[in-house]
Amino acid sequence: MSSTTFGQKGIDAVQRKDYAAAITLLDKALKDSKSPKWLLARAQAQQQLKNWDDALHDAETAYHSAIERGSGDSRKLMIEAQYRRAAIYFKLGRYADADCCAKWSMLLAEGRRAGEDDGVDKNVDSEGHYTVTYADGVADKEGQPGQNGGGIGGQVNTLVTTPKTGFEADWNRAYAFRSQALGALKQLPEDHPGRKVLVSKVPPKTQKKAPQPVESDSDDDLPTSKAANKPEHPAPGSVPDEKMKLRADFYQTNQNITISLFAKDLNKEDIQVQFTKTTARISPIPREFASYVKPGDREATSTLVFGGEIVPSGSRWSATPRKIELVLQKATPGKWSGWGEEKIGAQGPETTEVGSSGPSGTHETSKDAVSTGLEKIVAPSASVAPPEQASAPVYPTSSKLGPKDWDKLGEGEDGDDEDKQDVNYFFKQLYKGSSPEQQRAMMKSFIESNGTALSTDWNDVKSRTVESVPPDGVEAKKWES
């Protein structure tokens, strides 16, 4: 097959979410041509497989390739390359860098010159920390292409008109992404490295790079696609604890936090997880950087020390050959500053809150619990009261912000800082600051696309049905299917 055939088949495989096959096909295609389309497709596949260094390298190479080719779709590909960089940096916890790349994607969509020194990466204080805030990102709509009579903060200016560029959807996507990046940035401690700007608008040309995730100082947390740094024959005890720690990702709501730990050759039938209010003990774990570790060794056990208290009986876990996932119920609703940390070995006192729990969520009492006379947990669904009871009645809610105190309903609704961190607040502000025609376009596009697309161009959507545009890795299906 020709490189063109390999390239198209690779793009098709990405759309089918067959990412491993896509990389194989695109590798063959890219031997003969550095097509930015193929590079961006491979970057997306590498990102989905968490090969962050390869994904970033492909996105940056695609940016340079698009510039050098200078074809009719070069700007579109450059916009996509900057957006892909933003998505990868976000996954690495480098939120300041992610917002910079998203802003550069917006500027290209506005028709700005690629070589323009826009000063985006110079928004830093004396400590080198990014100074752009969530509120700044919400208000940053002045250059939105294709707007007529739009304004900010509800003030309509009929004299303001911005020309269409053909990249209105790309601008909206990058603009919406910034709310995620700046929202996550706001939650970081003041001295967190994710607040620093380390990225440049035009990426340097390199053979291969390994971007550093900011959650850990350990080189071992890098999700490299090749185990190039792995010792071939490590002697027992020769690998430091820091190098044996697992790569971890997490996300959270006010009620739960989900932690994913990545390893190789996990046997879910053998794994045991024991929860306490503040820890989880996991064993046995095979260590990629310490092949000598055997079940029963100190190094085969990890103790996770959480960033807050949990309800052990309301928590569960699951495992695949490459990942252990913990879904933890928070004892007190709210956001944690981080998930916690991993320590090698059985740290702290023996488990006393609850024994090992299987992937199905069934809990049993451990031997240690029996010896101390603890009560056996017979059903994971049994209600467990949080350690601290609310001072006023709270009722079940589907809100991401957690239980609502109905006695205070109506108080501070216009200026609640916590509400401003919610993505719904971002869309309310966007809707509030739009003209009646733009609001009509937003309602039509949002409803017809099942909440997957948002347009402010009434002339574009008034005479057509807006199709669903699901995000990467999600497939849209009809209700009856």
Q: How many residues are present in the chain?
A: 481
Cα(327)–Cα(384) distance, integer angstroms: 16
Over residues 119-129, mean pLDDT: 87
Residue 352: pLDDT over 50: no
Instruction: Tell me, yes or no, whether 268 and 356 share the same domain.
Output: yes
Let me know: does 468 contact 450? Beta carbons within 8 Å.
Answer: yes
What is the residue-wise DSSP string for 325-387? EEEEEBSS-S--S--EEEEES--SSPP-S--BB-TT--B---HHHHHTTPPPP--TTS----S
Higher pLDDT, 343 or 386: 343
Instruction: Tell me, yes or no, whether 166 and 253 share the same domain.
Output: no
Name the strands in the sheet holding 272-275, side by side, starting at the edge strand that comes first in the sequence.
272-275, 279-283, 302-306, 340-344
Residue 164: pLDDT over 70: yes
Closest CA to 89 of 180, 207, 187: 180
Residue 134: pLDDT over 70: yes
Q: Residue 274's beta-bridge partner residues?
A: 281, 356
Quick one: pLDDT at residue 356?
45
Instruction: Tell me, yes or no, whether 190 and 325 share the same domain.
Output: no
Instruction: Tell me, yes or no, whether 183 and 302 share the same domain.
Output: no
Instruction: Tell me, yes or no, whether 184 and 39 share the same domain.
Output: yes
Let me know: does 325 contact 247? Beta carbons within 8 Å.
Answer: no
Residue 437 lies in a domain: no
What are the φ/ψ torsions at residue 38 (nearest 5 degrees)?
A: -70, -40
Residue 292 lies in a domain: yes
Q: How many CB atoms lie within 10 A of CB 313?
A: 21
Quick one: pLDDT at residue 373?
34
Residue 51 belongs to domain spanning: 34-195
Higher pLDDT, 205 or 212: 205
Pull the structure tokens for residue 246: 């697992």
Residue 268 lies in a domain: yes
Residue 191 lies in a domain: yes
Higher pLDDT, 223 or 457: 457
pLDDT band for position 214 (cuts 50, 70, 90): low
Give the DSSP H/E element, type plus range, for residue 183: helix 168-186
Quick one: pLDDT at residue 413?
43
Q: How many domains does the chain have?
A: 2
Q: Is the pTM of this model over 0.85?
A: no
Residue 477 lies in a domain: no
Most confident range, picked from 80-89, 206-215, 345-354: 80-89
Cα(244)–Cα(285) distance, integer angstroms: 10
Residue 21 lies in a domain: no
Instruction: Tell me, yes or no, whether 248 and 169 share the same domain.
Output: no
Q: How many CB atoms lie within 10 A of CB 202?
A: 12
Residue 59 lies in a domain: yes
CATH of the domain at 260: 2.60.40.790
Residue 281: pLDDT over 90: yes
Residue 210: pLDDT over 80: no
Quick one: pLDDT at residue 49?
92
Residue 408 lies in a domain: no
Let me know: does 320 contact 268? Beta carbons within 8 Å.
Answer: yes
- The angle formed by the CA atoms of residues 251, 105 and 249, to the nearest 5 degrees, is 15
Residue 423: pLDDT over 80: no
Closest CA to 211 of 349, 103, 54, 324: 54
The distance from CA 321 to its chain's CA centroid, rounded to whole angstroms, is: 22
pLDDT band for position 460 (cuts 50, 70, 90): confident
Let me know: does 182 contact 134? Beta carbons within 8 Å.
Answer: yes
Instruction: Tell me, yes or no, whether 191 and 282 share the same domain.
Output: no
Q: Strand, helix or coil at 417?
A: helix
pLDDT band for position 403 (cuts 50, 70, 90): low
Instruction: Tell me, yes or no, whether 278 and 174 share the same domain.
Output: no
pLDDT in tens, 228-256: 344 345 666 677 888 888 989 998 999 99
Share of the chain above pLDDT 90, in %: 34
Instruction: Tell me, yes or no, whether 43 and 178 share the same domain.
Output: yes
Quick one: pLDDT at residue 90?
93
Q: What is the mean pLDDT of the chain?
A: 77
Give strand ranges (E) for 64-190: none
The distance from CA 252 to its chain's CA centroid, rounded to whole angstroms, is: 11
Closest CA to 358 of 449, 260, 273: 273
Quick one: pLDDT at residue 106?
93
Residue 379: pLDDT over 80: no
Which one-letter DSSP state was computed for residue 246? P
Quick one: pLDDT at residue 308?
94
Q: Residue 89's beta-bridge partner residues?
A: none
Torsional sign, CA 372, 375, 381, 385: negative
Over residues 268-277, mean pLDDT: 90
pLDDT band for position 73 (cuts 50, 70, 90): confident
pLDDT in tens, 79-93: 999 999 999 999 999
Question: Which residues have C-beta within 8 Å of that of residue 159, sequence separation ≥ 6?
Answer: none
CB neighbour class for 225 (10 Å; exposed up to 12, middle 13-18, buried from 19): middle
Instruction: Tell me, yes or no, whether 188 and 243 share the same domain.
Output: no
Quick one: pLDDT at residue 154?
42
Last residue of a domain, one of 139, 162, 195: 195
CA separation (Å) from 78 to 107, 113, 176? Answer: 11, 11, 18
Last residue of a domain, one of 195, 218, 253: 195
Instruction: Tell me, yes or no, whether 244 and 353 share the same domain.
Output: yes
Last residue of a domain, one of 161, 178, 195: 195
Instruction: Tell me, yes or no, whether 246 and 185 share the same domain.
Output: no
